[in-house]
Amino acid sequence: LNLSTGHIGSGRKFADGSGGNGSALRHYEAMGRKYPLVVKLGTITPAGADVYSYAADEDEMVTDPKLAGHLAHWGINMMQMEKTAKTMAELEIDMNVAYEFSALTEAGARLTQLSGPGHVGLVNLGNSCYMNSVLQVLFSLPEVLQRYAHAAPAIFESAPADAAGDLPTQMAKVGLALSSGKTGKPPAHPKAATAAAAAAPAAADEGGAEPMETDAADAAAAAA
């Protein structure tokens, strides 16, 4: 419902083809883009409702402090309304829960493990995969490699006695390992490298292959 004109139209179509046909947005454009506020009728309750602004400087969910009065103008008593449709927040949660993330990975595929310079992975400690992928992307940049990996000898020489909390030292160690491939001999069973990794749910395929993760660099390369 357009709160200014009273026009009732459907919402926008989602990327997956679901949703409305965009008639509410077309009405806003046909009216000279003067009346941007719309409310999703099925979400109206005494506590509020989903209000959206089509204005170019907003184009997002907004709060209407005078919603009750605006609805009353069109004969809608907000205090008597009951929710009959999901809010945008609820729809987003449903989409996140049902999203098929395996469509972006090599789920079920047998991959050839690589090693050596530029082909070094990082052990996933339960929830560190995002940080791992960011580090791999960072060290794919020549400037970052030059700053830390190539300058590692000088960084190590000037490192404090307790280098565990020294960021340049730790970045140099990670960069040197990722770029040179010098990480030491891998354990016989990669999943048992750490207690955390051993406790993590297995991601192997039915054939028993070791789990393989797709990091940000791989995803970017695949997209390109």
User: What does 81-146 look like in DSSP terms, one character per residue?
Assistant: ----S--HHHHHHHHHHH--GGGGTTTT-------STT-------SS-HHHHHHHHHHTTSHHHII
Taking the C-alpha atoms of residue 131 and residue 125, their distance in angstroms, rounded to an integer, is: 10
Contact at 8 Å (CB) between 173 and 149? no
> Per-residue pLDDT tens for 24-50?
999 999 999 999 999 999 999 999 999
pLDDT digits (tens, 9 = 90+) for 144-193: 999 999 999 999 999 999 999 999 999 999 999 998 887 765 555 544 44
Give pTM, 2 decimals: 0.47
